[in-house]
Structure 1
Amino acid sequence: MAAKGVGMANKGPSYGLSRQVQDKIDSKYDPDLEQILVEWISRQCGSGVGKPEPGKQGFQAWLKDGCVLGQLINSLYVVDKPVKKIQSSGMAFKQMEQISQFLTAAESYGVTKTDMFQTVDLWEGKDLAAVQRTLSALGSLAVTKDDGTYLGDPNWFFKKAQENKRDFSEDQMKAGKNVIGLQMGSNKGASQEGMSYGRPRQIL
């Protein structure tokens, strides 16, 4: 545990990452998830992307220049690939640019902001657990969309609850409102005494 009661609740000023904080972040990195992600990405992108050395540093080195990430997000689109140009470069700004193109594309694909890592999380290795979280969210979306582009094992990722409003057409939204209207407006078979307002009804 953290010394001197410095818990998660204590959000005092932070002066750079202490070793202890970094260890805490690192402890969230999941080696089992790493294996699933590596397996998925290599199936999704083909053998050309190779596989990293096992472990966090290997995982980071594999994804750091943004090429594998670009191929991954492109593989989830049949037409209109979002990352137009993927090229290996030793230049830092080029690598970061490719990572950020992946992040933009992943967000358009449906990954929520809260599941998104920051470029430095990957590039500087600040938070590789966050990178895993983004890739898991992407995998879950790919499984959920079920549009034929996902090439992994469907059991690797949880299907997401379809809460993304943009996926619903106007007609579906209207139909949904009608259903709610019917439930609210008509109390068929429910007498007023069944609707006691004093205490919450037991929903069995």
Structure 2
Amino acid sequence: VNIEPSAQLVYELYSEGPPLEDCDLITASVPLALARKAHQLATAHARELDRPLLEQLERKGFRLDFGEEDTGWQFKYLTRGGGYYFNVGCSDLVVEGKVRLLQFADIARFVAVGAQLASGEKLPADLVVLATGYQGQEALVAKLFGEHIARRVGPVWGFGEGQELRNMFQRTPQPGLWFIAGSFAQCRIYSKYLALQIKALEAGLIR
């Protein structure tokens, strides 16, 4: 996805004239099903805008993925916290042949000189980096507070049964443990709602 304008399509509301407070309220209150449809439309538009780049990337072996039910990068972010790439120049280098692609599925094993492909070919490498360490916030909860607290809290991020982000910007099953995360925009919007909940608890207005 090109950063301009494709990745910005999901934020078009903010440039259409309504006051910032109204845009924030609309963003926070759109039902999940409606948001999903809106992101499908935005993704379709982005694909058209980026078509020349996307076609060239495919020819270079880049595997394109437009998210579950073509909902695009934003829903990947909301459901798994990643799985997308914004083009800040590397996609152009791939197209130009300055950066080569190799699919992990084509690697049979790692050997002393680098990687051995399923074909038997060996690709020499000075360094192989395995970026596989991300485990999500529930793993951090277990590390900081113990497995029993992590089990009590449950999954963090992604949509739950109530169609809201799980254990995010709201009370968790563990008293006193709150989570706020996401983009600058999300933290700006939802920090006030989180603060109001904490204030209400401290004032004895809710239990």
More helix by share: 1
The structure where strand makes up a greater share of residues is 2
TM over 0.5: no
Output the TM-score relative to the length of structure 2: 0.24
